[in-house]
Amino acid sequence: MMARDTLSDTFNQNKLFWKITGIWVTQVKNKRFKYYAIPVIAIVFVAYDLFLTLNLVYTPKKLEVFMPELIFFFCEVQNAFKVYMVMFKSEQIIQAFNMMDTEEFIGESEEHKRITKKAKLLFIKAFKVYFVLCNAGFGCISVLPFVNFVLFGKKPNLPVCNYYFLSDEWRDQYFWWILLYQTYSVYNHMMYNISIDTFMSGLILMGLAQFRALNDSLKNIKCESNKVNDPAEEWRLRTELIKCLKHYDSLRKYCTHIQDLYDPAMFVQISVGAASNCVILASLLLSMSSNDKSFIILYGSVMAIEILMPGYLGSQLQYECDELVRSVYSCDWIERPESFKSIMKLLCERAKQPIILTTWYIIPLSLNTFISIMKTAYSSFTILRAVHTRNMVE
């Protein structure tokens, strides 16, 4: 007997990385797993963030030195909220997976299955591309300097920060141990970002695919019988419309659930992303090496993509939701009986209340939000550049 195809299988790669990094500890049934997960979380996540905070406190208050450290700290703030979401909202994540695996989401028609399969393949492909790009960036930052040291004897710099709370003697004495610890921790934190960022966007993508499938199902409620007032045909059409109504109800519950799930992680990601973009643009005015500026520009591009994707998918989902009323009126409803039209009116009235995904019921996930954030960052940059230029002239 063939295994039943499910939508939650889309996120198997995400769950795998959550197990490897230990943050899926509450959902792993093996009791021995906690003896691996808890030390990894304590060393790689808790201690790492503690050291990073201490480093920021002791960092010299020179803008050229302080700005890069502040950017890394911003990244870890949003990372902490995302890890919190996976660790302490794992039951809600399982509920979201269960919602995906219901009959309404899997669908019966070939077109519905095609749309959901296309969304699954798109997510898996995007995950692999993001994974490869991030690992390539990690290799450039952490692996290539070590290769240069082996081949040419050039001592590498620490990949994250200099741990200014340590004395120079301690840092030099334990340099390679610190380098190894930071490299291993950075890779784990990169895995946090890859697996959780794609997961949050994937939740919205699955909802978007369901709205597209629902619109297609509504448009294709057509009479196939040549007989006038055929009872069997009328029953079939009414049954299909009721299925669409149940599908829409399930979608509204799903969107409400994922919105509660990704809060406050998504709110912090967007807020910190906005602040990071301002700091990144401001840091370009400082005297830095070309390598440092190239890294900051690359890092800023990644931060922009992190807030672009939820905004784009949120806008697409809202658009498909707005199409529901048009899809209802595209079905074969004119010659249908009153019982059919009453269900249709109910669906139209409910569809008039648009589904707008937000973060903490404050910031809508949309392209308009992304554009506003980038405009604010650029406006701050132009003001700082004008002040910087005036000070240079004086």
Tally of CB atoms within 10 A around 218:
26
Between 390 and 207, the higher pLDDT residue:
207
Highest mean pLDDT of the ranges 140-144, 244-248, 274-278: 244-248
Tally of CB atoms within 10 A around 186:
18
User: Worst-scoring range by mean pLDDT, 77-86, 182-191, 205-214, 296-305?
Assistant: 296-305
> Is the model's pLDDT at 3 over the cut of 60?
no
363 - beta bridge partners? 359
Question: Rounded CA gap, 347 and 319, in Å?
Answer: 17
pLDDT band at 393 (very low <50, low <70, confident <90, very high): low
DSSP 363: E
> Is the model's pLDDT at 363 over the cut of 80?
yes
Residue with tokens 């939650």: 8
Question: Rounded CA gap, 101 and 84, in Å?
Answer: 25
pLDDT band at 71 (very low <50, low <70, confident <90, very high): confident
Can you give the pLDDT at residue 291? 62
Quick: pLDDT tens for 332-354: 888 888 989 999 999 998 888 88
Backbone angles phi, psi at 330, to 5 degrees: -85, -15
Can you give the pLDDT at residue 2? 40
Highest mean pLDDT of the ranges 1-15, 52-66, 239-253: 239-253
Can you give the pLDDT at residue 228? 58
Can you give the pLDDT at residue 224? 77
Can you give the pLDDT at residue 226? 66
Question: Rounded CA gap, 118 and 101, in Å?
Answer: 16
Closest C-alpha to 164, from 69, 241, 81: 69
Peptide bond into 264 cis (omega under 30): yes
pLDDT band at 287 (very low <50, low <70, confident <90, very high): low
Domain ranges of the chain: 8-393
Q: Is 101 in a helix, a strand, or coil?
A: coil
Quick: pLDDT tens for 365-384: 999 999 998 888 888 778 87
Average pLDDT of every residue of the chain: 88
User: Worst-scoring range by mean pLDDT, 41-45, 227-231, 299-303?
Assistant: 227-231
Sign of CA dihedral 80, 86, 88, 92: positive
- The pair of structure tokens assigned to 106 is 């899997």
Closest C-alpha to 37, from 188, 256, 223: 188
Peptide bond into 337 cis (omega under 30): no
- The pair of structure tokens assigned to 285 is 């005015």
Can you give the pLDDT at residue 1? 38
